[in-house]
Amino acid sequence: MIFEETYLRGAYVIDPQIIGDERGFFARAWCQKEFGAHGLVTAFVQSNLSFNKFEGTLRGMHRQIAPAEEVKLVRCTKGRIYDVIVDLRPDSPTHRQWFGVELSAENHRMLYVPAGFAHGYQTLEDNCEVFYQVSEFYTPECERGARYDDPSFGIQWPLAVSAVSPKDKNWPDYVPVL
């Protein structure tokens, strides 16, 4: 696997090394030793699957706070998404900055989302499926969110939003914990 750290410290875009022949290809999507060698979390406790019917669907921006802060490893297994993270670590030099990357069934890319980040994505076509692993169990009392259009982040989504849940639409403006 090829690990490329983003400008948000601790967040990585991960490309599998494709070994192809006339049958198709083989690639490793997870290796505990390789993740550990990069200082990344190597224990995931839950895998989630999300299906999205329509282009422009937006999910996010989600996170969990202590004691259930979670790391995510996200991959699009059908279709294409624009995956976005926002650094919400108050002591980080990139606090409130965002990073976006296209993940697709075709490019096989993954996004490693560290603890302390909000995460969300927008579908770039109909019928998208997203698979992600998380390092902590879902803990409702630790769930937090920020609006996808919070002006303090300035996220530039590629499409007009066609669908968003009421919960995601109504998260309050982000206020850092100081």
Q: What is the 3-state secondary structure (H, E, C) of 115-141?
A: CCEEEEEEECCCCEEEEEEECCCCCHH
Write out the residue range of the structural domain in which residue 113 sits: 2-169
7 is an active site residue: no
Q: What is the CATH number of the domain that holds 79?
A: 2.60.120.10
In a domain, residue 177? The reply is: no
Backbone angles phi, psi at 162, to 5 degrees: -95, -25
Please tell me the total count of domains within the chain: 1
- Predicted pLDDT at 133: 97
In a domain, residue 174? The reply is: no
In a domain, residue 141? The reply is: yes
38 is an active site residue: no
- Predicted pLDDT at 96: 95
Catalytic residue among 62, 82, 112, 148: 62
Buried-state track 108-141, b at ≥16 Cβ within 10 A, e below 16: bbbbbbbbbbbbbbbbbeeebbbbbbbbbeeeee
Please choose, from the candidates 101, 119, 142, the residue with its C-alpha nearest in 3D space to the C-alpha of residue 13.
Answer: 101
- Predicted pLDDT at 177: 66
- Predicted pLDDT at 178: 55
In a domain, residue 75? The reply is: yes
In a domain, residue 176? The reply is: no
In a domain, residue 89? The reply is: yes
3-state secondary structure of 64: strand
Measured CA to CA, the distance from residue 105 to residue 134 in angstroms comes to: 20
Measured CA to CA, the distance from residue 31 to residue 21 in angstroms comes to: 22
In a domain, residue 178? The reply is: no
Catalytic residue among 82, 121, 132, 148: 132
In a domain, residue 70? The reply is: yes
Tell me the pLDDT of the chain (178 aa) as tens digits: 999 999 999 999 999 999 999 999 999 999 999 999 999 999 999 999 999 999 999 999 999 999 999 999 999 999 999 999 999 999 999 999 999 999 999 999 999 999 999 999 999 999 999 999 999 999 999 999 999 999 999 999 999 999 999 999 999 888 876 5
